[in-house]
């Protein structure tokens, strides 16, 4: 490893904080040969676990998953005593690691860093301590913890209280004696809920001041037996992989089923099982939509409320303890005897939402309703999370801009990957805002960040690169991404510290990356593999022209939500369709989860209709109101090989409701069992059937449109040609969504988007090969409508294309030819979108927008048809 020899510098790296992340960062960099020093305000190692030593404090992630995994030796030498370790045991573990790796020799304790300033000339950081001492380093790494800036609300009269006052996050090292005392606890988050049962056992009288009631499930803690520990050690390699590529950093995840798919009895059975098993995610992992759909969420929320009612004996107290916000949109909580504690004689509950705290007096707390005399006041009032610890240091980047200014106190929070922010070269934030951090098992997130940062520093040194900085474009992209992902869930619909809502005056905005640790790891690795895409750097004086200089770039303007889907699909590790058999491909290509929840339609009916040489299913969606309605005959996509009625269930329902038309979705026969021209002939037969039997399905035969996406768009275009050429029916409109129009792969969009954007060139070749009997078929206008000699006399058209789609140019070429032939065409390219986005309104705002555009276009077309 080439060490930094080109400049006189005290240190290669400064790390702030000696918690789990700072300690591992120190170890990693020191092992690589860098000079590094850690500065820590506390007197010893531990971070969160050093400060949060309130009674009852313990981890809410199972101890066997809440430890370092980088060293097998450490894993095997440490044995946890219980399923959820208590704070003293976790602190002992941290000390054990610090001793074993001899970390203390490079840590300066009792040292608070007050400022850090980037020097543009020297391309390094000057870091200042509380006592005025300075040190310089090339890399400035914050390992501050997400929840280290404790929040004591500014109650009137706070300083007048004569008794003892404590904050759970700044607990004294000596034992606090509660015996026989009148104790008040403000706050019922994770800390309060852990502390309240423990304090109640000792206090004379405990009064809990609750602003928001909480959902909490039993931890079901128990000692760990040697068999569990042995099994865990044996399987740790596999467990580690599962944790790393999971949602929350534990080796399990949600079941792929909606809560609304099960009966109430089945749901209750599963929730009860989870309640008995205990654990942070047990309840939510029963279903995959508890965090997304309000109705699904309510099934879990009401289960917990019923439990509270059963546990708490006094119905009035139970009522006060009933939470109403969306379950799990605040950090889920697990407890030991929390609700049971309210059955104790010495515990009372005060609802400070109903009667707010007016002031802290000399003797206790005065609310709008009463005064409570107290000897001890415990603030379990949480933290100024994520940004708070960073803003506590005066961090200044290029041009002396402070981080606080740049982020406008948090209102303009912008990071790239939650690791870096533009204008602050060579600064890395471990588990920073907009990374998964607090939404995950922190140990998994910490190790991933430290490994990534260490690899990045190695890369910079090897390539003689300095002043490594996120680009503005990249951080804009990432921040937008974080917001979009959080907005897809219920997380942003609750006031929580995730949203900054717990701190008066703090700007609201979701502070973490909610896409899961697995996806996040893939994205970070991808960025690194592309030579740190999205960062810029400068070649050092040691560099030569031959040095590999990666210019920071972030070229693609793909929509962040679409990009997120691509990464998710990539992380699912599915093989390309063309490597499968058609039957396997039909099973594998189930993208219904991306469509979102199907909305209500007045009537849905399945029928079978005759076609030449057989019969095929159709599904008829009828909107509310009085018929006859106009009709859209819809053909699903899937390259004539895959796809079915369910694939387009959601868009069909939306189109029926929004366009106010009957939608007849056609399950035409698929290739290769039924090669060209079967799909086209089935599609044409379906439209003729609709015209012929219009009255029986409440359809006005004068107002029939055809439409479809991808191969379905091809079929809609082909049916329009057939209807023109073969005597009707007369069609009011053709709706062509990224249609296949030509058996050819020679467009620019095929070149640009051949791979990596959902539909690949190879898959298209595979589709065409299954569909056509021979090359000759490909020249037939009923397979390649772009090759039709004459496109005049066709119905008016909507042509929608996607920017990142191999089919983009042939769809647009068809629109041009229609226009040239005198057909009225509305044409829109959704620049940032990928093929298939019309199927994905549940996860893509643009998917929704395209469906709305199509519905409006249909409505307009139906209204302009002259009927007798």
Asked if 191 interacts with ligand N01 (CB under 6 A), we say: yes
| Three-class DSSP category at 367 | strand
Going from the C-alpha of 613 to that of each of 394, 606, 643, 684, 726, the distances in angstroms are 78, 20, 21, 13, 19
Between CA 205 and CA 375 the distance in angstroms is 10
Return the number of the residue (321 or 659) whose C-beta is nearest ligand N01. 321
CB of 385 to ligand N01, least distance (A): 7
Asked if 428 interacts with ligand N01 (CB under 6 A), we say: no
CB of 84 to ligand N01, least distance (A): 8
Interactions with ligand N01, residue window 691-720 (CB under 6 A): none
Strand runs (DSSP E) across 678-815, as ranges?
A: 699-709, 733-737, 797-804
Binding residue for ligand N01 (CB under 6 A) from 221, 381, 437, 749?
Answer: 381
CB-nearest residue to ligand N01: 189
User: Which part of the chain contacts ligand N01 (CB under 6 A), choosing from 53-61, 107-115, 661-669, 694-702?
Assistant: 53-61
| Three-class DSSP category at 767 | helix
CB of 51 to ligand N01, least distance (A): 11
Provide the CB-side half-sphere exposure for 139 (13 A, CA): 30
Give the contact letters, 59-88, x = binds to ligand N01 (CB under 6 A), - = no: xx----------------------------
Binding residue for ligand N01 (CB under 6 A) from 17, 46, 187, 279?
Answer: 187
Between CA 770 and CA 586 the distance in angstroms is 13
CB of 711 to ligand N01, least distance (A): 48
Return the number of the residue (54 or 564) whose C-beta is nearest ligand N01. 54
Give the contact letters, 130-169, x = binds to ligand N01 (CB under 6 A), - = no: -----------------x-----x--------------x-
CB of 380 to ligand N01, least distance (A): 5
User: Which part of the chain contacts ligand N01 (CB under 6 A), choosing from 185-193, 454-462, 700-708, 750-758?
Assistant: 185-193
Asked if 185 interacts with ligand N01 (CB under 6 A), we say: no
CB of 331 to ligand N01, least distance (A): 3
Binding residue for ligand N01 (CB under 6 A) from 4, 188, 221, 426?
Answer: 188
Closest CA to 198 of 442, 383, 380, 385: 380
Q: Are 446 and 142 in contact (CB under 8 A)?
A: no
- 532's tokens: 């740190």
Return the number of the residue (193 or 732) whose C-beta is nearest ligand N01. 193
DSSP calls for 540-601: -TT--TTS------------HHHHHHHHHHHHHTPPPGGGS-HHHHHHH---GGGG-PPPP-
Return the number of the residue (29 or 350) whose C-beta is nearest ligand N01. 350
Closest CA to 435 of 450, 421, 453, 415: 415
User: Which part of the chain contacts ligand N01 (CB under 6 A), choosing from 191-199, 700-708, 724-732, 825-833?
Assistant: 191-199
Size of the site for ligand N01 (CB under 6 A): 25
- 484's tokens: 């979009």
Interactions with ligand N01, residue window 480-519 (CB under 6 A): 497, 502
CB of 241 to ligand N01, least distance (A): 24
Return the number of the residue (153 or 627) whose C-beta is nearest ligand N01. 153
DSSP state of 86: B
Asked if 189 interacts with ligand N01 (CB under 6 A), we say: yes
Binding residue for ligand N01 (CB under 6 A) from 14, 137, 186, 419?
Answer: 186
CB of 506 to ligand N01, least distance (A): 11
Going from the C-alpha of 558 to that of each of 335, 488, 496, the distances in angstroms are 44, 18, 31
Return the number of the residue (216 or 665) whose C-beta is nearest ligand N01. 216
Between CA 723 and CA 153 the distance in angstroms is 72
Binding residue for ligand N01 (CB under 6 A) from 184, 192, 552, 637?
Answer: 192
Going from the C-alpha of 644 to that of each of 581, 590, 591, 636, the distances in angstroms are 17, 10, 11, 7
Alpha helices in 573-677 (DSSP H): 582-588, 649-659
CB of 496 to ligand N01, least distance (A): 7
Binding residue for ligand N01 (CB under 6 A) from 380, 390, 641, 655?
Answer: 380
Phi-psi region of 221 (alpha: psi -120 to 50; beta: other; left: phi over 0): beta
Give the contact letters, 431-460, x = binds to ligand N01 (CB under 6 A), - = no: -------x----------------------
Asked if 212 interacts with ligand N01 (CB under 6 A), we say: yes
Residue 581's CB is within 10 A of a number of other CB atoms, namely 10
- CB-based burial of residue 74 (10 Å sphere; 0-12 exposed, 13-18 middle, 19+ buried)? middle
Binding residue for ligand N01 (CB under 6 A) from 111, 149, 190, 489?
Answer: 190
CB of 202 to ligand N01, least distance (A): 19
CB of 332 to ligand N01, least distance (A): 9
DSSP state of 279: -
The widest CA-to-CA distance across the chain, in whole angstroms, is 95
Helix (H) or strand (E) holding 857: helix 845-864
Return the number of the residue (67 or 763) whose C-beta is nearest ligand N01. 67
Q: Are 448 and 516 in contact (CB under 8 A)?
A: no
Return the number of the residue (192 or 638) whose C-beta is nearest ligand N01. 192
Contacts with ligand N01 by CB under 6 A lie at 58-60, 147, 153, 168, 186-192, 194, 211-212, 331, 352, 380-383, 438, 497, 502
């Amino acid at each position: 490893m080439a060490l930094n020899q080109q400049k006189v510098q005290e240190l290669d790296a400064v790390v702030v904080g000696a918690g789990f992340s700072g300690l591992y960062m120190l170890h990693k960099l020191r092992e690589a040969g860098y000079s590094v020093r850690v500065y820590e305000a506390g007197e010893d190692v531990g971070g969160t676990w050093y400060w949060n030593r309130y009674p009852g404090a313990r981890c809410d992630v199972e101890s066997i998953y809440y430890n370092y995994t980088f060293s097998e030796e450490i894993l095997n030498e440490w044995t946890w005593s219980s399923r959820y370790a208590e704070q003293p045991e976790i602190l002992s573990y941290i000390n054990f690691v610090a001793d074993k790796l001899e970390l203390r020799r490079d840590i300066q304790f009792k040292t608070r860093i007050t400022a850090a300033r980037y020097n543009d000339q020297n391309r390094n950081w000057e870091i200042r301590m509380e006592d005025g001492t300075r040190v310089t380093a090339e890399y400035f790494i914050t390992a501050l913890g997400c929840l280290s800036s404790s929040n004591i609300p500014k109650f009137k009269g706070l300083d007048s209280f004569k008794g003892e006052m404590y904050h759970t996050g700044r607990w004294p090292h000596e034992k606090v004696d509660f015996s026989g005392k009148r104790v008040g606890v403000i706050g019922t988050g994770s800390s309060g809920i852990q502390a309240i049962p423990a304090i109640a056992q000792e206090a004379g009288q405990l009064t809990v001041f609750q602003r928001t009631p909480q959902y909490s499930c039993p931890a079901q803690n128990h000692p760990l037996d040697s068999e569990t520990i042995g099994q865990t050690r044996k399987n740790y390699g596999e467990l580690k992989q599962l944790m790393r590529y999971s949602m929350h950093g534990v080796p399990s995840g949600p079941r792929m089923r909606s809560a609304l798919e099960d009966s109430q009895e089945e749901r209750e059975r599963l929730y009860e099982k989870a309640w008995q098993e205990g654990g942070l995610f047990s309840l939510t992992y029963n279903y995959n939509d508890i965090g997304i759909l309000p109705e699904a969420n309510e099934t879990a929320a009401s289960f917990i409320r019923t439990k509270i009612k059963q546990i708490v004996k006094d119905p009035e107290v139970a009522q006060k303890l009933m939470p109403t916000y969306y379950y799990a949109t605040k950090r889920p909580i697990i407890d030991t005897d929390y609700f049971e504690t309210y059955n104790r004689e010495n515990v009372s509950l005060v609802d400070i939402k109903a009667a707010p705290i007016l002031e802290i007096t000399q003797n206790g707390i005065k609310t709008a309703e009463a005064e409570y005399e107290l000897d001890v006041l415990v603030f379990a009032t949480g933290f100024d999370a994520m940004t708070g610890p960073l803003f506590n240091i005066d961090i200044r980047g290029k041009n002396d801009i402070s981080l606080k200014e740049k982020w406008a106190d948090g209102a303009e929070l912008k990071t790239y990957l939650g690791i870096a922010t533009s204008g602050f070269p060579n600064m890395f934030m471990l588990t920073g805002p907009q990374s998964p951090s607090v939404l995950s098992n922190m140990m998994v997130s910490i190790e991933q960040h430290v490994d990534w940062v260490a690899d990045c520093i190695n890369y910079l040194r090897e390539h003689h690169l300095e002043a490594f900085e996120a680009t503005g474009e990249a951080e804009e992209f990432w921040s937008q991404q974080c917001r979009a992902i959080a907005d897809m869930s219920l997380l942003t619909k609750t006031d929580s510290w995730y949203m900054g809502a717990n701190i008066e005056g703090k700007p609201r905005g979701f502070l973490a990356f909610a896409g899961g640790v697995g996806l996040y790891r893939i994205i970070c690795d991808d960025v690194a593999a592309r030579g740190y895409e999205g960062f810029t750097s400068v070649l050092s004086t040691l560099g030569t022209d031959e040095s590999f200089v990666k210019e920071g770039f972030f070229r693609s303007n793909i929509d962040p939500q679409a990009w997120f889907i691509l990464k998710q699909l990539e992380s699912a590790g599915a093989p390309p369709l063309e490597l499968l058999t058609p039957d396997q491909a039909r099973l594998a290509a189930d993208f219904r989860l991306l469509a979102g929840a199907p909305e209500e339609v007045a009537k849905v009916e399945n029928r079978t209709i005759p076609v030449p040489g057989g019969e095929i299913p159709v599904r008829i969606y009828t909107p509310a109101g009085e018929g006859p309605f106009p009709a859209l005959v819809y053909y699903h996509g899937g390259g004539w090989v895959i796809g079915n009625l369910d694939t387009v269930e959601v868009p069909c329902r939306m189109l029926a409701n929004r366009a106010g038309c009957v939608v007849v979705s056609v399950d035409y026969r698929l290739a290769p069992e039924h090669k060209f021209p079967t799909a086209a002939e089935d599609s044409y037969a379906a439209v003729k059937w609709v015209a012929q039997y219009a009255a029986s399905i409440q359809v006005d035969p004068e107002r029939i449109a055809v439409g479809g996406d991808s191969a379905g768009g091809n079929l809609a275009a082909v049916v329009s040609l057939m209807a023109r050429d073969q005597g009707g029916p007369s069609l009011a409109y053709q709706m062509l969504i990224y249609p296949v129009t030509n058996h050819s792969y020679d467009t620019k969009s095929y070149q640009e988007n051949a791979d990596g954007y959902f539909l690949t060139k190879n898959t298209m070749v595979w589709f065409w090969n299954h569909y056509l009997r021979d090359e000759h078929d490909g020249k037939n206008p009923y397979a390649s409508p772009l090759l039709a000699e004459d496109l005049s006399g066709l119905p008016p058209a909507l042509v929608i294309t996607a920017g990142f789609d191999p089919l983009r140019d042939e769809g647009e070429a068809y629109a041009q030819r229609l226009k040239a032939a005198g057909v009225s065409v509305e044409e829109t390219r959704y620049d940032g979108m990928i093929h298939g986005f019309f199927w994905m309104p549940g996860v893509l705002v643009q998917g929704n927008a395209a469906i709305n555009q199509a519905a409006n276009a249909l409505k307009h077309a139906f209204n302009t048809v002259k009927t007798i």
